[in-house]
Structure formats: structure tokens, C-alpha cells
Chain A
Amino acid sequence: MSISIHSINKTFGSYKALEDVSLEVPNGSLTALLGPSGSGKTTLLRIVAGLEFADDGPGKILFHGENVVGIPAGKRSVGFVFQHYALFRHMSVADNIAFGLTVLPRSKRPAKSEIRDRVHELLGLVKLDGLDKRRPHELSGGQRQRVALARALAIRPKVLLLDEPFGALDAKVRKDLRRWLRVFHDEINLTTLFVTHDQEEALELADQVVVMRNARIEQVGTPQEIYDRPRSPFVYEFLGNVNKLTEPNGVQRYIRPHEIEVLFAAEYDPTTDRMAKIQHLFSAGPVATLGVRLDDGKFVDVELSRKQLEDLGLSVGDEVAIRSNPPE
């Protein structure tokens, strides 16, 4: 089910948390809301869920063309996963997952055996078979996250909303779970909107990335578009390591570390290159990072493949020429 957001405003007291926000989330897509802390991501997600209400006005939120403004959260058929999971700690994993089914009015509530089957099906789906009797405090962070996801999915929601789903996890689990979520999404094909402030996560995971800044949407596009054709310096900088480089012709350019070419000092071409001295060098991993200092004292980060680094035979203290190659 698609989500359309039309000119939504939200103020807290006198503070504007969202200003004229409009967004299309296509059916079946995995969309990331990306932005720095305080940019209004959570607020937008909560308004879509019905946990927060937008200011009065012409603003609309449509689920598959149907306006849901004024419909309470419980009737919107959304699955919401909270950053800190918000599991019911007095209930077992199975009871947590079954909760949304057991609170249905008696006429719609599935039979006990049906609920049990559904819980086991969901446990399988999130790869937590056999943990149904545990309590939340007996699970790891990643497992809790998946219980929260299973609980949200139990009610067969029409859209799935995740607030920083991996925010509280360590780097390794984060990466694993991220990949898993991508595969999982492709399997169940549920329209999903997730919040993150990690650009890598957004770029790797999403079909569509929405960059937010100061209560507004700055840019919307595929990860490729956003990365290669950022509409503003803010987006450019936010999307990852970036250098601000003055070229010999005086033009200032933003340039990503991997877009910089490193040459022997002997190949220096004063019309296109700048001279630099290598300050530090990290080569633990497939990509080597060089920190170089330009003749004007500025620092620039450069990324090279290990192979390139070995071919050049560089070490700290060497003089090199650097050339910025504009991407095609």
C-alpha cells in the first residue's frame, strides 16, 4: 500500500518540527528517512503511524489514496517498531508477538490454536524458532529487535514503520541485520518506511532515500541519485566523507575521497594538480585511506584500492601530486 504525505506541518509549542513536508512512498518500496538529529524524522514517522497529530490545515496523509488523518493509530493497520523495541517485559516472546491478535474484538479474534500457529510462523520468519518461551530480558539486542518486528507483523499491517531499527545495536549485528532486513523485505514486499541517521545504512538498504534537514525534506531519490547528484552542499556532505578542495584554477569543489587520484610527484601537472604530503596512511582492509596535507596546509582524505597503493609504493612523509577527477 502506498503512502502519500501532503504538506504536513507540525509545531511543538513554538518550535517547528516539520514544515510543509510532502512525500510519496511507493507501494512495496523500502524508503529511508535520513537526516541529522533533530531534523524531524521521528516526528514524521509518528504522524504517519497516528501516534502524533499534524497541525490543523490542508495537510493530508493518504494510505493507498485514502485519507487517514483523524484515524487513531490502532485502526491504521501500521506495524511500528520502536528504536528501543518497547517489548512488554512481563510477557514471553510468544505473548508479545500474539498481543495484537489477542486484543482483537472477540468476533475477529482468531482461535487460540490459530494464534499459536501464527506466532510460530512469525518466529520462523524472523529466525527466532524455539525462543517463544523466553522473556525479553533473556534475549540479545538483535533478537529483541526481531521480536519487535514479528510483533508488528502479526497484525498483518499494510505498512511497516521502523524508527532507527538498528540504532541500539553494535556494528557487526547492525550490518548483519541490515542485510537480513533487505532480503526479508524483498520476500514479504511490504511498504516500509524507516528512519536512520546513518547514510551508509540508507544507501545500502533503501530503494528510495529521503534526506531531511531542519524540519524540511531536502532531497528525495534513489541512493544512486542522491549520492551522485546531491542537490545541495548539505546533502553532499551528509552522504559521506567529503573534501572541500580548491583546484589550481581557483574553483572550489566538493569531492569524495575515492574520486581523488594520487600520482608520483614527478607527474605533477600545475594546471590540474596540487602538491601534497602524506601525513598518515591506513591500509587495514580492502580500501586504503590516506590523509594528505596540501601546500596551503589543508587536510584532504583520499581513498585508494590496496592494489593502487602497492603499485605506488607510498609511505608516510612522501610528496605526491593529487588530481581531482570529476565523475562522469
Chain B
Amino acid sequence: MNNSKFHFIDYIKYVTLLIGVFVVLFPLYVVIVNAFKSTDEFNASSSLTLPKSFFNIDNFITVFQRGGLLTGFGNVLIIIIITLTFNILLGTMVAYVLGRFSFKLKRMIFGAYLVATVIPSITTQVATFGIIKSLGLYNTLGAPIVLYIGADVIQIILYLQFIRNIPYDLDESAMVEGASLFRIYRSIIFPLLTPATATLVILKTISIYNDMYIPYLYMPKQSLGVVTTVLMRFQGVNSADWNMICAAILLILLPTVVLYVFLQRYIFEGVTSGSVK
């Protein structure tokens, strides 16, 4: 009696989970199958059926040739590399200062990072726009870079959690040996923050790669397209050719999905550590 009831609950669990999986995978399935169809084939067949051949990669080639996708990948890669280099450097520096020293304005500085998250950044762009222009960064890769470089509160919380777990004895014994505080940051703290840094690099790579608004607003120039704006332009021109758009969507989804498959542990860690606190 009891046993069969348990089976029933398990049954419901699996059915709902499978519905969830179906809902997640259905749009992806549709995009995948149609990306491999030629225009004639697409028009003749239902969008739910498999393509004649998964070796028909003409659409992907067209997307690369017509869409300027390579430029998009190149630009976003440059932005990510420069941004992350500075962001990690500055983020660890802030965290080192906040995590190891006590001083008057400490609480206020942490508070400033916290309050910043409440300000809706989409609408403040109305004012930020003027600042970017007067710095001469409008229509340059510098605009997204300076806007992404600053640390956010999640990043600082994540680093602070790690710094608290680094025994202060390490700092002290280095001081006994006469190491400067800068050296302690460079040779002890920074290397020991590597796991947190790895998590942040992955999460920030994904969020910069996926951002549409800032590149759209600050880099309208054709040659400065990133993957999102390139995709928007491509869709604008080819809005009726769904098979082409499907190919473009797939190409753009692929990099983050690959990152996710191989590095999911870091992604889950990063997503949960900031918010559960």
C-alpha cells in the first residue's frame, strides 16, 4: 500500500521533469532541424520534421559570408579579453582592501557597490550616453569595455568569501619575512583567489557575450558589431528566411553552450554563491 503510493509520487516527479525537459529542448530542436534545410526544403516541409541531411551546411556558410559573424566574434572576443583582465585585477584589489584592512570608509564603499545594483542601469544610460560621448568613446570598443570593467557587488561578495577563508597567518608570516603588502596581494592573495576568479571569468564571459543593449547603443558602426548586434542586423535583412536565421541562432548559441557543458561546476558555483548569502 505504502509502497505503491511512493511509486505514484515518483511517477509524477518524472512526468513533470520530462515535461520541463521537453519545454526546454523543443525550441532548440526546432532551430537545429531547420538550420540544415535549404530554402526550398524549408518551404516544402513542416518545421517539425528532420532535414534531409545534417551535412547540408550551406546556411551556415551563408551566415558567415553575409552576416559578418566573424567580425562579431572577433569584436566580442577583444572586448571580453580586455575587460576581464582589468576587471579581475581591479576586483581582487577591492576585495583585498575590503577583506584584509579596517578603515573608516570601508562600510560605505561596500554599501556603494550594494546600492549600485538597485539603480536600473538601462534607464541611466540616458545620462551615461553623454559621458561616453564626452570621453570620446562613442563608436569605439572602449565604450563597452569601460562600462563592463567595474566590479559588481556579486563579484566582491564572492571574492570576500574566499579571502575570509585564506588564513591571516599567511599574511603575518610573510610580514615577518619582510614582504610588502603589495607583495602579499600579488604572491599570496591573488593566486589563492584563482578558483573564484575562474568562476567569475566564465560567468562574465557569458554575460558580456550575451549583452545586447550596450553594444547596440554605443557601437552602431557596422564594423563594430558584436554577436548580438550582428544577429539583429542579419535578422533585419533576412527576416523571412527562417532557415538562415536558425543557422545564425545556432552559431551564436554554440560557444556558451560548449562553455557550459565543460565548465558547469564553476557556473553553478558562481550563480549560487552570490545570491544565497
Chains A and B come from one and the same complex? no
Task: List chain B positions with a Cβ less than 8 A from chain A.
Answer: none
Task: List chain A positions with a Cβ less than 8 A from chain B.
Answer: none
